[in-house]
Structure 1
Amino acid sequence: MNRIDDAALADLAAEANLAPSVHNTQPARWALDEEGRILLAVDLSRHLGVGDPTSRDMGLSCGAALEGMVMALAARGIGAAIDDLWTDNLLEWRPGYRLAARLRLTGENAAPPELSEWTTRRFTWRARFSPASPEQIERLEHWATQAADVRLAYGHDDLAFIASLNDRASLTIMRERAFRDELARWMRLSSRHPAYSTDGLNLTALQMGRLEGALVGHVLASPLFDIADRLGLGRALVAESAKTMTATACILFYRPEGESPIVSGQAFYRFWLGFTRFGLAGWPMAVLADLPLAAEALHQRFPLPPGHRLINVLRVGPAPTTVPKYRLPACDLLLSGEPA
């Protein structure tokens, strides 16, 4: 059986951490137990208590990182079996952490998954998209018809519907001061922020200039947003319709109701890498799945299979340039020593 030491785990963790996470919080942490199994734990200090009260997004983020770990192991020819521990809610394993999953190394040679080569080329793109080529559109359409958890929305009318719904839903949630405060804590709106290059949403990821970032930070962290909203300017502050309308398509990603967020998160990472292969970037419009009224409006227009729920909606298209990923150093992703 293959054995993983701390140095190898650090390399694996860095690769796994290329996976997407809500607000780029990167909550997944890794450890080895006495039997050489890889443990996935959640750093609870990175939980979004307001935006993610049920911890679903935190679980999805860790599930995506778990899929990244499986792919990183497979790239080294190492197979692994997964024990999903999410529903056990193991909060006493180590103070400040929740044990989410366990990987048992099988000793079997694992063929590298086809999607693993795209992990370094996946990135988010918040600005306007470039026009897609006919080949990109054809490949995207073919992939969507073959996927079991994807619904493609494209064409002017469908994009306009989603763009308008996203703006309305965003305004609804941004009217909650507690949500804005939490979001502001994860925004790195100055290059002088100590975590600018390691986590959260910085100016590059948000496609903002320095002056725009300073203005946004001031408005979000003060009563100015409420004042502007009362003057009828709130929707203009959050509107992204113009950007959404440049997308090649919006993609609804759904999974079975009751599925563990760990499993859903694994599938979400594969889903995102699936369209990355076509030279497309994406921007999550998670509010469309998180806000019940918005999710219901989408379901009415784009019915999902019975027994499934909407996980996320992404607008996708070719980006004019690439955006670097900002990630924590590998040493910060490891938990050393035995839990108390």
Structure 2
Amino acid sequence: MIDRATLTPLAAEANRAPSTHNTQPARFALDAEGRILVLADLSRRLAIGDPTNRDMGLSCGAALEGLVMALAGRGLGAAVEDFWAEDAQWRPGYRLAARVTPGGDAAPSPLAAWTEKRFTWRGAFSPAPPETPASLEGWAGRRDDVAFAGGKDTLAFIAALNDEASLTVMRGRPFRDELVLWMRLSPRHPAYALDGLNLEALRMGRLEGAVAGTVLASPLFALADRLGLARTLVSEAGRTMTAAACLLFHRPQDESPVATGRAFYRFWLDFTRFGLAGWPMAVLADVPEAAETLRRRFALPANHRLVNVLRVGPAPVMLPKYRLPAGELVLDQPP
């Protein structure tokens, strides 16, 4: 029987999973039958960047997969029910994503060993061993939801497409305001070590962070754009070109976001085994023109949607995960 004391460390392990802007929207509660509810905290939704809540569903699905792995690590099986399509309110401000019934025996997942080693690297990658791209390509070729993109010309194509798509979305002031809301650009920010994107995660110094916050959250960005400077401000092409490869993650078009999020977390852990960090380019999936360009170039299945594109490569250092305290992740049943 799972009780709150047992659920709290399980929730902490589940919350190692990636989430959009490190919003960490997944919450956990026990129902009257001792089943674990996975809930989406709607106060952490991205109203501009994720108007359909799909990315929130993906983030909760990744945390759900982390929970299933955490249970398996304790020898417990898990029967999962996906409730995302029902758009059900658990209590005001929380959407029911899934329900997990622990029971039976389970062997630990081989991917669980990589959950602490998985992290996002937003800087230039270190050179990869010569055999890494070929190993990655072979691995991707054995999967039906990953397309490998390697080689200088291909990386340059994706880098340019990413920069163009990023400029498109960053031109929207509401999008920038929402992004800045989740950026922790000063160590004095009260949530600096808890959630969002802080200076270490963004690979920025204090002065660079202060300038970025000022420009993004003011009319200065529009002025820079009129002067032709905004493209340089958002460009990541130089760092993209240091990646060992890019991996295009795609899943069935009609798949639940929760199921997609579970698969996405397994995918990321799987390539972590190669000693690689990842850096998402979600904008390539979010901007329809960019997604269609990649679909055609890499011949993605017609019944699949592009979920994300990750730059992958060795990171010079390993970054810590900035996460909410475990006690904040577990909620009590409403009266």
- Place the TM-score, normalised by the shorter chain, in its bin: over 0.9
- CA shift, 1:305, in A, is 1.2
- 1:225 shift after superposition: 0.3
Residues 150-199 of structure 1, C-alpha deviations (whole Å, 9 max, x = no match): 00000011101000000000000000000000000000000000000000
**Aligned match of 2:279:** 283
List aligned pairs for 1:38-53, cutoff 5 A.
38-53=36-51
Same amino acid, percent of matched pairs: 68
Per the alignment, residue 74 of structure 1 pairs with: 72
2:84 alignment counterpart: 86
CA distance in 2, matches of 1:72, 1:134: 35
Could you say which residue in structure 1 is the equivalent of 2:191?
Answer: 195
Letter aligned with residue 52 of structure 1: D
- Once the 2 structures are TM-superposed, how far is the Cα of residue 135 of structure 1 from its aligned partner? 3.6
Q: Which amino acid aligns with 1:312?
A: N
Deviation at 1:281, TM superposition (A): 0.3
Q: Secondary structure at the match of 1:120?
A: coil
1:234-273 mapped onto 2 (5 Å cutoff) = 234-273=230-269
Counterpart of 2:102 in structure 1 is: 105
Residue 23 of structure 1 and its aligned partner are, at CA, apart by 0.2
TM-score normalised over the length of structure 1: 0.97
Contact 2:133–2:244 (CA under 8 A) maintained in structure 1: yes
Mapping for residues 283-322 of structure 1, pairs under 5 Å: 283-322=279-318
The CA deviation at 1:147 is 1.3
- The counterpart of 2:334, out of the listed 326, 330, 339, is 339
Cα distance in 2 for partners of 1:306, 1:208 equals: 39
CA distance in 2, matches of 1:161, 1:192: 39
Q: Which residue of 2 aligns with 1:96?
A: 93
Counterpart-to-counterpart distance in 2, 1:42 and 1:306:
30
**Structure 2 length-normalised TM:** 0.99
1:62 paired to 2:57: no
Aligned-residue CA RMSD in angstroms?
0.8
C-alpha separation between the residues in 1 aligned to 2:40 and 2:185? Answer: 26
1:116-195 mapped onto 2 (5 Å cutoff)? 116-195=112-191
Task: Note if 1:330 corresponds to 2:331.
Answer: no
Gaps of 5+ in 2: none
**For the Cα contact (< 8 Å) 1:136–1:279, is it kept in 2?**
no
The CA deviation string for residues 290-311 of structure 1, in whole angstroms up to 9 with x for no partner, is: 0001101111211101210000
Please report how far the alpha carbon of residue 145 of structure 1 lies from its aligned counterpart in structure 2 after TM superposition.
1.0
2:73 partner letter: A
Match of 2:12 in 1: 14
Q: CA deviation at 1:339?
A: 2.2
In structure 1, the gaps of 5 or more residues are none
The DSSP-based 3-state class of the residue aligned with 2:105 is: coil
Aligned equivalents of 1:228, 1:134: Cα separation in 2: 40
Contact kept? 2:13, 2:67, Cα under 8 Å: yes
Letter in 2 for 1:299: R
Residue number in structure 2 paired with 1:25: 23
Q: Please report how far the alpha carbon of residue 142 of structure 1 lies from its aligned counterpart in structure 2 after TM superposition.
A: 1.9
Q: One-letter code of the match for 2:260?
A: S
Q: Distance in 2 between matches of 1:297 and 1:232?
A: 25
Instruction: Name the count of aligned residue pairs.
Output: 335
Deviations 1:273-320 (A, max 9, x none): 011000000100000000001101111211101210000000000011
Alpha-carbon separation, structure 2, partners of 1:104 and 1:245: 45
Deviations 1:8-58 (A, max 9, x none): 100000000000000000000000011000000100000000000011100
Q: What letter is aligned with 2:237?
A: S
Q: Is the 8 A contact 2:132 2:244 kept in 1?
A: no
**What amino acid maps onto 1:210 in structure 2?**
R
Is residue 2:217 matched to residue 1:221? yes
Q: Quick check: 1:283–1:316 contact (8 Å CA) kept in 2?
A: yes
Quote the Cα distance in structure 2 between the aligned partners of 1:228 and 1:328.
Answer: 36
Instruction: Write out the 4+ residue segments of structure 1 that deviate beyond 2 Å after TM superposition.
Output: 134-139
